[in-house]
Amino acid sequence: MKRIYLLFLTGLLFFSACTDLDIPPPNLVGDEKLMTNESGMEIYMARMYSQMPFEDFKYMAEWGLNYNSWLGAFGIEGTGEALNRDGICRAFTGENKAYWGDAFSLLHDANYLIETLPEYQSNFPEVTYNHYLGEAYFVRATVFYAMARRFGGVPLVTRVIRYPADPEEMEVPRASEEETWDQVLADFDQAAALLQPASPKSGYSNKYVALAFKSQAMLYAGSVAKYNETVTGRLTGFGQKTGVRVIGFDENSWQVASNRYFREAYLAANEVINSGVYSLYMKKWSATDPESQYQNMVDMFSDLSSPENIYVKEYLYPTFTHGYDAYSAPFIFKAPLASGTCPTLDFLELFEGFDRYPDGTIKVTTGSSNTEGDYLLYDSPMDFFKDAEPRLRAYVIFPGDVFKGKEIEIRGGVYTGAEPINPLFNDYSYSTAETRYQHLGIYNEGSKTLYLSPREGNSQEIVSYNGADMTAAGANGPFYDNGESCLTGLYGRKWLNPDPSFEAGEGRSSQPFILMRYAEVLLNAAEAAVELSLAGETSPDGSDMMMVATDAVNKIRERAGATLLSGSITPDITGRNTVRKERRKELALEHKTKWDLRRWRVQHYEGRDGFWGEIRDKDSYSNNARYRFRGLYPFFSTQSGKYFFDARFQWVSLKTFEYNTIDYYFAIPDGEVAKSSVIDQQPNR
């Protein structure tokens, strides 16, 4: 991608150098230059790919596709993966910049290539000519897919609209949602049929890239068709101007459509799997060494030679960079900001390796809940995580772990009272989330035994311990009066540059972003297999669908250092949730979860028991449409010199999210609706 981008800029500079006054203006490059040779086509491809709706380091859900990395963070869209201190941390109910106008600009480029390149076919070998057409269909499929999962039915502009034109030709109404997903399917199929099996240039697509994205898109389509029916009253509706079913599916056809899409997802994923072109990254993996399993998963996100990489967005310092490290690294690496991605305790609880209470939550006391018994004590904060999945450690920086050669010191506070230590609160419910540590009597009354810090540096409260001064919150906080610190007691490790010599800063990061990897294709096949089996469908290619699903999940779990499944995945809700949970774990912090929650229709209150891919008491973190997430906070006890952990709702810069069924579809931009006689707004908006 970086090479294509640079060629695009170089090409523009080359063509703009023309001084002949008898030819078109120098900023207008004609088809005879772009479509008659591969150099020209590289420029055309670069233009299209520079506008693709890819969600990577330069995408923030709050703002939409602005293609910058300002305040870059992951998992902060109300998914439960992570939290951020800024206003950009909110439920994924819309984007400030709607993906509408830019989408149609890119559709124009793709359609123009499809319509015009045949005039110049003789200039290219057949395989090259077909590949360029395949790229255009891949681009068009990707754009329609990006629009469909935001808006449902959209105007299916599959031809070049030449201006000026009759109003009837220029006005394209929204198609039904089913027609839109059918177009996505058709375009991905056409792309896969035309593209070469291997990308001819870095950054280009290929047959298996198209099939991998097709499997993802068809999972979304199948899920929407099926799970819209689980929303109270059915989630569907017609446009007022055209009477077209712009969201949802007909009650008599949704099941047929859902099964068809799941079948296409399964076939596409299996074709990628059976090709043997890709495999899971295992370069440093060892079956008997959790440390190597952890390091293997750290390395795979930056290794461009990984056999797991299906489609990657590359960066190159200093010409094409992003700023993820500048905003999401631990507080001590602040450059210019920090702490943008703070994973939650809710996310941690998806993983193995922790003692649990009877309700399944992570155990921090000797009792049967975190309001009972005494706190468990640890010599080091890392002892709490000693049995955690190596995959989790590759994704999350634990308190006391090492990053870039430095111990990441995180403390909720220091306790100087007697042991054993009773729970700091007698109520950890949703309704008490705004009662914080600084409100406790042991902190703000005469017999002070709890020390916290409002700020970093000289504002830290100091405790004398073994003849030395200990800061209450450590180097990274959380500081209760500074939201730019370790909000949840945890930091994200995934995607950060681990090189100690690397100095973060705005526009200094050049890690690649993996837009599609083999692990996701395995999970796509597994989920489609379970969904088809749930619907009573037979295997579309003769394979044993439950064996495919089980094998896919076990391969991922083995690589992750997790326990293999004790038996085969079953074709029921339990089996479906097993796959969903594995997906939530493996693909976390990759811009995937927010879309999965939407397509499963589990983010509104009534559906939120399945929010985590398993059954969970929603009342423990929700209040109707509103919900919160929890942190895991280490405290130091001076009496024994040991640490204990408190599990409670995140308490610094408290984040409360809200999600309603209307939010499963974004609003069409008001300006587009107002100026058009055929563009319908979403029903009930």
Mean pLDDT by 10 residues, the chain (685 residues): 43 35 48 90 95 97 94 96 92 97 97 97 97 98 98 97 77 97 98 98 96 98 98 96 98 97 98 98 97 98 97 96 97 96 97 96 97 98 98 98 98 98 95 93 94 94 96 96 95 97 95 98 98 98 98 98 97 96 98 98 91 76 91 98 97 92 97 96 93
Q: Within a domain: residue 442? A: yes
Domain count, the chain: 1
Give CA–CA dist 658/93, Å, rounded.
9
pLDDT at 562: 98
Length of the chain: 685
Give CA–CA dist 522/388, Å, rounded.
23
pLDDT at 611: 81
pLDDT at 627: 94
pLDDT at 21: 32
Give CA–CA dist 157/176, Å, rounded.
13
Contact 471, 61 (CB under 8 A): no
From the list 557, 552, 555, the residue with the least C-alpha distance to 521 is 552
Sign of CA dihedral 500, 504, 507, 509: positive
Cβ within 8 Å of residue 215, ≥6 positions away: 264, 265, 266, 268, 269, 272, 521, 524, 525, 528
pLDDT at 519: 98
Give CA–CA dist 234/345, Å, rounded.
33
Domain range for 496 is 324-511+629-658
The three-point CA angle 410-411-414 to 5° equals 155
Helix (H, G, I), strand (E, B) or coil at 99: coil
- Annotate 10-47 with three-state secondary structure: HHHHHHCCCCCCCCCCCCCCCHHHHCCCHHHHHHHHHH
In angstroms, how far is CA 210 from the centroid of its own chain?
19
From the list 393, 152, 409, the residue with the least C-alpha distance to 293 is 393
**Strand pairing category for 642-649 and 630-637:** antiparallel
Give CA–CA dist 417/426, Å, rounded.
18
Using alpha carbons, list the distances in angstroms from residue 85 to 71, 130, 340. Answer: 11, 48, 7
Q: Within a domain: residue 291? A: no
The answer to pTM > 0.85 is yes
Cβ within 8 Å of residue 202, ≥6 positions away: 1, 2, 3, 4, 314
Contact 139, 109 (CB under 8 A): yes
Contact 237, 685 (CB under 8 A): no
Q: Within a domain: residue 220? A: no
Peptide bond preceding 336: is omega within 30 degrees of 0, i.e. cis? yes
In angstroms, how far is CA 46 from the centroid of its own chain?
25
Give CA–CA dist 199/478, Å, rounded.
46
Q: Within a domain: residue 438? A: yes
pLDDT at 24: 42
Q: Within a domain: residue 14? A: no
Helix ranges restricted to H, 195-323: 207-227, 254-275, 290-299
Q: Within a domain: residue 649? A: yes
Sign of CA dihedral 546, 552, 556, 559: positive
Q: Within a domain: residue 330? A: yes
Contact 311, 135 (CB under 8 A): no
Joined tokens for residue 128: 């090259």
Joined tokens for residue 406: 């430095």
Using alpha carbons, list the distances in angstroms from residue 114 to 78, 108, 140, 211, 257. Answer: 39, 10, 10, 20, 28
